[in-house]
Structure 1
Amino acid sequence: MVAPDQEAVRLPAIEGQVDVDRSAAVRRKLSCQCIDPTGLLTPRDTGEVLTPFGTELRAYRGVRYSGAENDWEVCPLGVFRLSKSSITENNTGSPIIQLEAYDRARTIARDKFKTPYTIATDTNAMDALKAIVKMTFPDCAFDTITSTVTTTAPLLYDAGSDPWEAVAFLARSMGCEAYFDVEGRLAVLPPHDPNALPSPDFTYVEGQNSTMLELGKEFNDEGIYNGVIVTGESIGDQLPPVRGEAWDDNPTSPTYRFGPYGEVPLPITDNLAKTEEQCIAIAKAQLALILGAASKLAITCTVNPSYECGDIVRVKRAKSKVDGLYSVEAFSVPLRAMTQALTLREQRPTP
Structure 2
Amino acid sequence: MPRQSDRFYTEIRRSHHPLAFVEAKGINGEVVRLTVKSGDVSVDRTASPRRSLNVTVVDTTGALVPDKTRGLLTPYGTELRPFRGVRYSDGTTELAPLGVFHLAKVDPSESSSGEQEIKVEAFDPSRRVIRDKFIRPYTIAPGTPIIAVIQRILARTYPNLEYDIVPSPMVTTQTIVYDAGDDAWEAVTELADSMGAEIYFSTVGRVVIAPPNDVDANPAPEFTYIEGPGCTLTSLSSTLSDEPGFNGVVIIGESPGDDKPPVRAEAWDEEPTSPTYRHGPYGEVPLIIRDSNIKSTFDAVVAAKKRLNELLGFVAQLSITSVVNPALEAGDVVLVQRKRSKVDDLFTIDSFKVPLLGTDTQTLQIRSKRRRA
Q: Show the counterpart of 1:86.
A: 107
Q: What's the secondary structure of 2:47's corresponding residue?
A: coil
Q: Show the counterpart of 2:329.
A: 308
d(CA) in 2 for partners of 1:143 and 1:252?
35
d(CA) in 1 for partners of 2:259 and 2:144?
18
Q: 1:236 to 1:128 in 2, by over 3 A?
A: farther
Q: 1:9 to 1:256 in 2, by over 3 A?
A: same
Aligned-pair distance for 1:184?
Answer: 0.8
Aligned-pair distance for 1:56?
Answer: 1.4
Letter of the 1:10 partner, please give it: R
Aligned-pair distance for 1:266?
Answer: 1.1
Q: 1:25 to 1:235 in 2, by over 3 A?
A: farther
Aligned-pair distance for 1:121?
Answer: 1.3
Aligned-pair distance for 1:47?
Answer: 4.5
d(CA) in 2 for partners of 1:254 and 1:23?
24
d(CA) in 2 for partners of 1:310 and 1:166?
21
Deviates further, 272-281 or 56-65: 56-65
Identity fraction in percent? 47
1:103 matched to 2:124? The reply is yes
1:35 matched to 2:29? The reply is no
Which of 288, 293, 304 aligns to 1:283? It is 304
Q: 1:347 to 1:242 in 2, by over 3 A?
A: same
Q: What's the secondary structure of 1:78's corresponding residue?
A: coil
Q: Show the counterpart of 1:200.
A: 221
Question: TM-score, normalised to structure 1's length?
Answer: 0.95
Which of 225, 248, 251 aligns to 1:230? It is 251
Q: What's the RMSD between the two structures over aligned residues? A: 1.7
Q: Show the counterpart of 1:345.
A: 367
Letter of the 1:346 partner, please give it: S
d(CA) in 2 for partners of 1:235 and 1:99?
52
Q: Show the counterpart of 1:60.
A: 83
Q: Show the counterpart of 1:165.
A: 186
Q: Show the counterpart of 1:330.
A: 351
Kept after mapping to 2: 8 A contact 1:153/1:237: no
Deviates further, 200-209 or 212-221: 200-209
d(CA) in 2 for partners of 1:65 and 1:34?
26
Question: TM-score, normalised to structure 2's length?
Answer: 0.89
Deviates further, 328-337 or 257-266: 257-266
Please give the per-residue CA displacement for 1:54-74, whole angstroms capped at 9, x wherever unaligned.
Answer: 211111112233463xx3221
d(CA) in 1 for partners of 2:251 and 2:28?
46
Letter of the 2:249 partner, please give it: V
Q: Show the counterpart of 2:286.
A: 265
Runs of 4+ more than 4 Å apart:
234-239
d(CA) in 2 for partners of 1:246 and 1:197?
19
Aligned-pair distance for 1:235?
Answer: 8.5
d(CA) in 1 for partners of 2:59 and 2:89?
27
Please give the per-residue CA displacement for 1:225-274, whole angstroms capped at 9, x wherever unaligned.
Answer: 10111110348977531111101112221111122222111111111100
d(CA) in 2 for partners of 1:343 and 1:128?
33
Letter of the 1:329 partner, please give it: D
Q: 1:237 to 1:111 in 2, by over 3 A?
A: farther
Kept after mapping to 1: 8 A contact 2:243/2:314: no
Q: What's the secondary structure of 2:293's corresponding residue?
A: coil
Letter of the 1:153 partner, please give it: Q
Please give the per-residue CA displacement for 1:119-155, whole angstroms capped at 9, x wherever unaligned.
Answer: 1111100000011111101111111111110011110
Please give the per-residue CA displacement for 1:97-130, whole angstroms capped at 9, x wherever unaligned.
Answer: 0000111111101100011101111110000001
Q: Show the counterpart of 1:243.
A: 264
Q: What's the secondary structure of 2:185's corresponding residue?
A: helix
Kept after mapping to 2: 8 A contact 1:113/1:162: yes
Kept after mapping to 2: 8 A contact 1:213/1:300: yes
In structure 1, runs of 5+ residues without a counterpart are none
Letter of the 1:55 partner, please give it: T
In structure 2, runs of 5+ residues without a counterpart are 1-23
Q: What's the secondary structure of 2:31's corresponding residue?
A: coil
1:73 matched to 2:94? The reply is yes
Letter of the 2:37 partner, please give it: I
Kept after mapping to 1: 8 A contact 2:97/2:203: yes
d(CA) in 1 for partners of 2:339 and 2:317?
16
Q: What's the secondary structure of 2:98's corresponding residue?
A: strand
Deviates further, 85-94 or 317-326: 85-94
Please give the per-residue CA displacement for 1:45-89, whole angstroms capped at 9, x wherever unaligned.
Answer: 024331211211111112233463xx3221110011111110111
Q: How many residues align?
A: 347
1:156 matched to 2:177? The reply is yes
